Amino acid sequence: MSTEFVKHLNPHPATDEVREAVLQNPGFGQHFTDHMVCIDWQGDVQENVGRWENARLQPYGPLSLDPSTAVLHYGQEIFEGLKAYRHEDGSVWTFRPEANAARLNRSAQRLALPTLPEEVFVDSIRELVAQDQAWVPSGDGESLYMRPFMIGTEPFLGVRPSRQALYSVIASPAGNYFGSVEPVDIWLSRTYARAGTGGTGAAKCGGNYAASLVAQMEGDAHGCSQVVFLDPERDDAIEELGGMNVFFVFDDGRLVTPELTGTILEGITRDSVIQLAEERGLTVEQRAFTLDEWRDGVRSGHLTEVFACGTAAVIAPVRRLVSNDETIGPEDAQPGEVTMSIRQQLLDIQTGRAEDTHGWLTRLV
Ligand SMILES: *Cc1c(COP(=O)(O)O)cnc(C)c1O
């Protein structure tokens, strides 16, 4: 049985002209569709009781929160990110939503927020996209980016898990995240960490991003658009970027990606890349990857490609690693063959140009 959403339709949706102007040049995360989905929760995670209620589709707009609301003080916030793709026949699909639903619940457990039944997660996305389907762009590399999130909403300043929560989904038409597939330079942060052992590194929560922004500023100041963080247990192993996982491609058919130690976010793109790479006969090693290995690999020529991956940017080729001490990688690096071919394969599956042999797609409209 699918979740029933009460519909409060937006009396002033964007006109066709306004929407089409936005879809001409969507950018990323700047424009939102006419509606949002909201579901309220009350209960007690400590007692393992509670209920989701008042599922509704409503006009996109500001939330009204009491100034004492839990999330504003102790940061109980988690989120997800996934995309809706328009296929050539006009139908709209999304990629592995059950994996996002499961991850939302793992994040919820870490942040002492309530879990949401996986089918409600998928229904909430379908509800929003069905209503706002005119906002799903159809251009190459374009999609509707969906942002489910959950916050603790109890108005109470005591330090304990919030006894009220809001789950919501908003959606924003998205162009190509980085505009192109130009390789990016990434900054090695030695001053800041994004995660600690036993911390929230594996949870998709706003707090991790808040902690990464100052490192991002440091990277920006050094001409780098992304930051890579080190393993909190050791200062010589790469962990992940602020919002993307990372892969290293060797000329002997090996791919190396840092293993999931509890401080790395378990990317769904990462998992999909591993599967696609193995099906091509590449060997994927999930283990610690050191700075020495990066440096030596570039020097010997055996490390041929580096790329980062995540839903927003899909796969982004990495050019150089920049730090206070050194720069690793050639200035003239072009996007690598393996990088671009896996990227294309993933995009082809998502947009329906290649057969979905893994059962990764779910039809929304
Ligand atoms: C969301 C995210 C990723 C990528 O996950 P995908 O499921 O591939 O989008 C990687 N690292 C961090 C820190 C993230 O928040």
Let me know whether 165 and 305 are in one domain.
no
Which pair of structure tokens corresponds to residue 228? 């890579």
**CA-208 nearest atom, ligand 1:** 13
Would you say residue 269 has pLDDT above 60? yes
With b for 16 or more beta-carbon neighbours within 10 A and e for fewer, the 84-101 pattern comes to bbbeeeeebbbbbbebbb
Let me know whether 248 and 281 are in one domain.
yes
Phi, psi of 299 (to 5 degrees): -65, -45
Would residue 357 count as lying in a domain? Answer: no
Q: Which tens digits make up the pLDDT trace of 18-57?
A: 999 999 999 999 999 999 999 999 999 999 999 999 999 9
**CA-272 nearest atom, ligand 1:** 8
Cβ atoms 282, 251 nearer than 8 A: no
d(Cα 239, Cα 194) in Å, to the nearest integer? Answer: 10
Let me know whether 196 and 320 are in one domain.
yes
Would you say residue 302 has pLDDT above 60? yes
Q: Whose CA is nearest to atom 2 of ligand 1?
A: 243
**Ligand 1 in reach of 310 Cβ (< 6 A):** yes
**Ligand 1 in reach of 27 Cβ (< 6 A):** no
Let me know whether 302 and 333 are in one domain.
yes
Q: Whose CA is nearest to atom 15 of ligand 1?
A: 243
Let me know whether 167 and 72 are in one domain.
yes
Let me know whether 189 and 334 are in one domain.
yes
Range of the domain at 274: 184-350
Q: What is the mean pLDDT of residues 139-146?
A: 94
Amino acid 156: pLDDT? 97
* Residue at 121: amino acid letter: F
Would you say residue 169 has pLDDT above 90? yes
**Ligand 1 in reach of 206 Cβ (< 6 A):** no
Let me know whether 110 and 192 are in one domain.
no
Find the 266 Cα to ligand 1 centroid distance in Å.
7
Would you say residue 1 has pLDDT above 90? no
d(Cα 214, Cα 207) in Å, to the nearest integer? Answer: 13
CATH for 331:
3.20.10.10
Amino acid 2: pLDDT? 83
Would you say residue 178 has pLDDT above 60? no
* Residue at 8: amino acid letter: H
Task: Tell me how many helices (H) and strands (E) the chain has.
Answer: 8, 19
**Ligand 1 in reach of 228 Cβ (< 6 A):** no
Q: What is the mean pLDDT of the chain?
A: 96
Let me know whether 56 and 168 are in one domain.
yes
Would you say residue 167 has pLDDT above 60? yes
**Ligand 1 in reach of 243 Cβ (< 6 A):** yes
Percent of the chain with pLDDT over 70: 99
Q: Which tens digits make up the pLDDT trace of 319-342?
A: 999 999 999 999 988 999 999 999
Helix (H) or strand (E) holding 278: helix 268-279
Would you say residue 207 has pLDDT above 80? yes
CATH for 121:
3.30.470.10
Amino acid 179: pLDDT? 55
Would you say residue 177 has pLDDT above 70? no
Amino acid 258: pLDDT? 98
Would residue 122 count as lying in a domain? Answer: yes
> How many domains does one find in the chain?
2
Let me know whether 144 and 235 are in one domain.
no
Let me know whether 131 and 275 are in one domain.
no
Query: Which of 122, 149, 174 finishes a domain?
Result: 174
Query: Which of 115, 148, 174 finishes a domain?
Result: 174
From 19-28, 170-179, 264-273, 332-341, the region with the lowest mean pLDDT:
170-179
**CA-194 nearest atom, ligand 1:** 13
pLDDT band at 176 (very low <50, low <70, confident <90, very high): confident
Find the 127 Cα to ligand 1 centroid distance in Å.
24
**Ligand 1 in reach of 245 Cβ (< 6 A):** yes
pLDDT band at 181 (very low <50, low <70, confident <90, very high): confident
With b for 16 or more beta-carbon neighbours within 10 A and e for fewer, the 59-68 pattern comes to ebeeeeeeee
Query: Which of 141, 174, 207 finishes a domain?
Result: 174
**Ligand 1 in reach of 80 Cβ (< 6 A):** no
**Ligand 1 in reach of 297 Cβ (< 6 A):** no
Find the 105 Cα to ligand 1 centroid distance in Å.
15
Beta bridge partners of 186: 226, 321
Q: Whose CA is nearest to atom 1 of ligand 1?
A: 243
Let me know whether 162 and 195 are in one domain.
no
Find the 46 Cα to ligand 1 centroid distance in Å.
28
Q: What is the mean pLDDT of residues 295-303?
A: 97
Would you say residue 185 has pLDDT above 70? yes
Is 192 exposed, middle or buried, given 0-12, 13-18 or 19+ CB atoms closer than 10 A?
A: middle
Q: Three-state SS string across 175-223, please?
A: CCCCCCCCCEEEEECCCCCCCCCCCCCCCCEHHHHHHHHHHHHHHHHCC
Return the C-alpha torsion angle 255, 261, 263, 264, nearest 10.
Answer: 30
